[in-house]
Amino acid sequence: MEIKMYILAFETSCDETSVAVIENGKSILSNLVESQVKIHNKTGGIVPEVAAREHLKCISQLTNKSLEIAKLQLEDIDCIASTMGPGLPGALIVGFSFARSMSYSLSKPFIPVDHIEGHIAANWLEDQSPELPAVALVVSGGHTELILVKENLTFERLGGTRDDAAGEAFDKVSRMLDAGYPGGPAISKLASEATSMNLKFPRAWLRNTNDFSFSGLKTAVLNYIKNEPNSSAQEIAWAFQDSVVDVLTKKTIDAAQAIDAKSIIIAGGVAANKDLRNNFLQKSIIPVHIPAPALCTDNAAMIGAAAFNHIDQAILPESIIDIYSTMTRGELFLDKK
């Protein structure tokens, strides 16, 4: 008889409150996400204090609903997991404290999970798991990282952004074009409406390194808008997106080929971008794994999947451990295990 392990997972690192129940690290029994997009759209970006307050408002209700959908009781849960970082400190502490307190009161093991590893683990929630070793591109509003995923599910950082994350650049260009928040979907929609595709923005290739840079591209877009005030927002959005997609795709494929990776993993909120997904699938001869769009953005299911890989590292809830808001440059989340 197969032994089933149920993990109750929480994700509150930014502006989505999410609670999920995962069975054996693979099957999603429930995965609820309460988005704050409409709230933060009013200010054109995330206000950390508001994000934390909104998490507090709904996390308890989401937990009850998630268990109800999974048709489980709290007593059926074997382990509790939560994102511990990186992210907004005020937002992180809501989910982390809630999960840890629940773990303590129920005498259940507690597994803290790194947010970036969670994004990578989302690929194991799909029907076909990536073959290892793999190169993972984690690309979101806060991160642009190239990670080597080794056969024993340990990690090595290969490179990352030297300035703006790709998703951050999308947000900033979206503000320049008054296209709305979040910038990723807004720019993608504008780009799809472009009737001319002649405009080209620069690409920062940063030769002989796996690092990225998007600050120069952002400046080029800003200067173009100032110098060409009557230019098409759709064409600008298309050219900007084309530049980002081109760089992300080529540098990731080059990194994967350099180490003879057996697969490429794409993860993070920007991985939901249709053009990025299509470009990888068209240009890579190495198998590419990309989660469904709903699993690319922040969600607790990915945290549960990552937690399952660390069942043997579960800790007592009273253990001394805390959140961390940033990943120090060059320091991998694996160093925190």
Under a CB-based contact definition with an 8 Å cutoff, are residues 164 and 138 in contact?
no
Distance between CA atoms of residues 176 and 225, nearest Å: 8
Q: Both 191 and 317 in a single domain?
A: no
The answer to whether position 1 is within a domain reads no
Average pLDDT on 229-246 reads 97
Q: Both 86 and 175 in a single domain?
A: no
For the cut 60, the answer to whether the pLDDT of residue 22 exceeds it is yes
Q: Both 210 and 167 in a single domain?
A: yes
The answer to whether position 90 is within a domain reads yes
Q: Both 222 and 178 in a single domain?
A: yes
Q: Which of 250, 222, 221, 240 is nearest to 146 (CA)?
A: 250
Q: Both 225 and 273 in a single domain?
A: yes
State the pTM of this model.
0.93
Q: Looking at the chain, list the stretches that DSSP marks H as alpha helix, in order from N- to C-terminal side.
A: 37-41, 48-70, 89-106, 115-121, 166-176, 183-192, 215-227, 233-258, 274-283, 293-296, 300-308
Which tens digit of pLDDT belongs to each residue from 177-200? 999 988 999 999 999 999 989 999
The answer to whether position 125 is within a domain reads no
For the cut 80, the answer to whether the pLDDT of residue 335 exceeds it is no
The answer to whether position 39 is within a domain reads yes
Number of domains in the chain: 2
DSSP reduced 3-state for 13: coil
Write the CATH number for 233: 3.30.420.40
Q: Both 180 and 323 in a single domain?
A: no
Distance between CA atoms of residues 210 and 63, nearest Å: 40
Residue range(s) defining the domain that contains residue 152 = 130-290
Distance of CA 223 to the CA centre of its chain: 30
